[in-house]
Every structure is written in structure tokens, then in C-alpha cells.
Amino acid sequence: MSRRHYSLPPLTTLSAFEAAARHLSFKNAAEELSVTPGAVSHQIKALEGDLGTALFQRKHRGVDLTEDGKALYEALSSSFTRVSKTLGAIRNRASVGKVTVGSTTAVAALWLSPAVIRFWRDMPEVNVDQLSQDRAFRDRPDVDFFIRYGRDSDPSLTNTPLFRDHLVPVASPEVADRLIGASLDELAAERLIHLESEDRSWTTWPEWFQQLGYSGTIPIESRVNSYSVALQLARKGAGLALGWQRLIQPMLQSGKLVTIGPHQLTAPNQFYLVGRPDEDLSDSARALKNWIIQEVQNGSV
């Protein structure tokens, strides 16, 4: 006889199933849980064996939930959400003076970290934790809010507009000097540093050229998966990066990077501050949020 009070399977098994059902992908669930896809598959098979029913329909390119799988996912999703909100409320009460904010690595280095330093001069009693990652912030109840390019589709999160940037080619001073007044054809012939990101909302080189009316071929000779790396390569004269003019303003002011005119594109999307509604934030989190918004309005960012 099971000694488990609620007659539940192990929580690790339920967690693996919930992640796989939410993503409809064992691979993506494994990435989220920091395990191998085989480990997720093993947990799912163990759960199906325990329940005596299939929870997924395995297909050539992915999986779908069975009716039993859908019922279990709905129950787990709502339960995990309630637990997450309760834990968040407890954390807020336990750490009133603590705020957790997320961003990409580039936003953290170029904008957020300097902004937090300025914030501490006004409110040194507030502890700010920064989380930097170059993939979308999903299912992170420990994050009060994060900086995002483009609106987040999660209806439970608020999207506060910050600013709309302009996209311009940037390079080292030597390369930029050589390309003063370059045409789109001449720019396309240069080594372009392409950023590959899971977030498809970021404007790419091909999209930039297309929006400016260029219909020629855009070669892909250099790929990176970090915007910080793209900027570093451009600084070293290894090619042209697509510069977000306001975001990289510190590097432009220092002369480490130089814009190449006259071609520029207004970014299709704005940068947003995305997070839980204000009523769910601690006083410290609301203070940092309002301070960041004021910084943007004052032109400090």
C-alpha cells in the first residue's frame, strides 16, 4: 500500500509531464528542466505505466495529448499556477526589499546594469537580482519583470511600453570610415554578422534590407547566438552588426562603434517592460519599475 498521503506519482514525474504537455515537445521540456530528452521520455513512460493509459500520441514530428493527457495537463497546470502564485506571495513577504529583473545579456550589459547602479544611489536598501539570458523568459515566477523587445503574448503579464529604437549598421571606426555614404548594394557586399535567436521578433539583416527596399541576395557568412558577441566582433573590425541605436548608445558615445549612414530603419516593435501586474509586485519591485520608466522618459536610456 502506498504511503503517499495524496496517492500521487513522484513530483519529478508530474513536472516532466507538465512541461512536455505545455511545450508539446520532449526536447523543449528537457531544455527547460535541464535534463536530457531521454530522461523526460523515461518519466513519461513511468507515469503512463503507473496510470495504465497513454498520455501522448507519438508522431513523426512531435507529440499530441490524448484525452487522458489533456485532462491531467489541465489539472496540473491550474494546480501549479496556484502553487506558483502562493510561493510568489510568500517570497514577496519574506524579501520585501528584493527585486528580480530579467533581460538579454546585451540589454543587461548596455542598459540595465548601469541603470541599476543609478537606482541604488537613490534606494540603496533595495536588493536587485539580475537574470540575463538570450532566450525568452517563460514560466519564471521568480522574475518580477523583464525587458523585452516586442509584446509578450502571455495574457497574465502586463506590457509597459518603454521606447522604439532605430536600426543602423555599425562597425569599428576604421570600417565605418571606409563605408561612409555606402549604398545598400555596397553594405550587402560586406561581411554581415547575423544574430540567430529563439525569439523571432528581433529584426534580422535580411528583414532590414527588405524593409528598405533592397531585393538582392543577403549572404550569411557569420552567425552568432548572442548580441553581445555580434557587437564585439563588429568592434574588432570583423564585420557589420545591426545596431539598435538607442540600446548601444554607450558604445557609440565612447567611439567603440560607429554608425554607417545614411540608411536606418525604425524598429517594427517597441521595447517593453513585461511582468506581473502592479498589485502583485512588492513595494520595492514597483519602485524599480517606476524608476526605470522615468529613466526612459528622461532620456537616460
**What are the residue boundaries of the structural domains of the chain, listed by start?**
11-90, 96-145+276-297, 166-266
For residue 280, CA distances in Å to 89, 90, 160 come to: 8, 12, 15
Q: Looking at residue 95, what is its pLDDT?
A: 52
Q: What is the DSSP string of 34-85?
A: TS-HHHHHHHHHHHHHHHTS--EEEETTEEEE-HHHHHHHHHHHHHHHHHHH
Q: Topology of domain 96-145+276-297, per CATH?
A: D-Maltodextrin-Binding Protein; domain 2 (3.40.190)
CATH of 166-266, one of 3.40.190.10, 3.40.50.300, 3.40.50.150, 3.40.50.720: 3.40.190.10
Is 208 or 301 the better-scoring residue by pLDDT? 208
Q: Looking at residue 190, what is its pLDDT?
A: 94
Q: Looking at residue 8, what is its pLDDT?
A: 87
User: Helix, strand, or coil here: 159?
Assistant: strand
Q: Looking at residue 244, what is its pLDDT?
A: 92
Per-residue pLDDT band at 30 (split at 50, 70, 90): very high
Is 196 or 95 the better-scoring residue by pLDDT? 196
Q: Which residues contact 149 (CB under 8 A, 6 or more apart)?
A: 199, 201, 202, 267, 269, 270, 271, 272
Q: Which residues contact 116 (CB under 8 A, 6 or more apart)?
A: 101, 128, 130, 288
Is 26 or 197 the better-scoring residue by pLDDT? 26
Question: Could you say which DSSP state residue 8 is in?
Answer: P
Residues 249-268, mean pLDDT to the nearest whole number: 92
* pLDDT reading at 54 higher than 80: yes
* pLDDT reading at 251 higher than 80: yes
Phi, psi of 118 (to 5 degrees): -65, -35
Q: Looking at residue 1, what is its pLDDT?
A: 39
Q: Looking at residue 154, what is its pLDDT?
A: 83
Return the C-alpha cell found at 186: 555596397
**Average pLDDT over the chain, rounded to whole?**
88
Q: Looking at residue 160, what is its pLDDT?
A: 95
Is 6 or 117 the better-scoring residue by pLDDT? 117
Return the C-alpha cell found at 83: 502553487
Report pTM: 0.63
pLDDT in tens, 60-116: 777 899 999 999 999 999 998 888 877 776 666 555 568 899 998 888 988 889 889
Report how far residue 299's alpha carbon sits from residue 301's, in angstroms, rounded to the nearest whole number.
5
Beta bridge partners of 59: 62
Q: Which residues contact 41 (CB under 8 A, 6 or more apart)?
A: 26
Q: Looking at residue 133, what is its pLDDT?
A: 85
Q: Cα(first)–Cα(last) distance of the chain, in Å?
A: 62
CATH of 11-90, one of 3.60.21.10, 1.10.10.10, 1.10.580.10, 3.40.50.1000: 1.10.10.10
Using CA of residue 39, residue 42, residue 43, residue 44, what is the dihedral sign? positive
User: Helix, strand, or coil here: 122?
Assistant: helix
* pLDDT reading at 301 higher than 80: no
Q: Do domains 96-145+276-297 and 166-266 have the same CATH topology?
A: yes
Helix segments in the chain, DSSP class H:
11-23, 26-33, 37-51, 67-94, 105-107, 113-122, 173-178, 184-188, 205-211, 227-235, 249-254, 283-297
Q: What is the DSSP string of 20-47?
A: HHHHT-HHHHHHHHTS-HHHHHHHHHHH
Q: Looking at residue 214, what is its pLDDT?
A: 93
Residues 19-23, mean pLDDT to the nearest whole number: 94
User: Of all residues in the chain, what percent carry a pLDDT higher than 90?
Assistant: 56
* Lowest-confidence segment of 94-98, 109-113, 259-263, 291-295 by average pLDDT: 94-98
